[in-house]
Structure 1
């Protein structure tokens, strides 16, 4: 009985040695792919929308305007269909404001895309609050 206990202990030590040795690695080294600091053990499809150039990118902010034009503004009320469409659009509640081409601040890019899909011809201008040309308003 004692021999089998010793055999199991020896097998256990051997397995631990193999598992924790520095030479324990996957069989196919060529299948390891690193993407954004994560290592995957197989082929990885990566869209070209965000190329991995290891450089930080910063959002495009509008250039400063030393002589802003003061223009009039108009306020429109969205139609009931547009309001209903926007309310039914599934978006996250995350607050990351973006300025649309209609000078409306959307709480995140998803809200702007919802407005666009609901019929508003709005496009993304830049991240952050829309800059107002009139002070105090």
Structure 2
């Protein structure tokens, strides 16, 4: 145990003995633990941070994202150039709608960093 850890534990113990935790919201009530079994373990901290920041995804936005992923898979598997062009146009329309959702939340989507991060998240969740 490091010195920092010992000092921290001692400060917490002193605060508890002095009753400094008695007036906290929810004192004496059971904790409401959220079931995070569907979230991969390495993403749970990020999930909690986003949830605590009231970052939510609407059902419509989630459905749109799923449609985009499906269209991307169809484009990859498509051999017909005409059909591929049609699917690409449809994907572009969906992407524009998705970016509108993000812009409503004031999330900038024109950054390559954002796009790379979004792609990595998609791969992890799929």
With the length of structure 2 as denominator, give the TM-score of the two structures. Answer: 0.23
Greater per-residue strand proportion: 1
Greater per-residue helix proportion: 2
Relative contact order, CA 8 A, sep 6+: which one is greater?
1
Max Rg structure = 1
With the length of structure 1 as denominator, give the TM-score of the two structures. Answer: 0.22
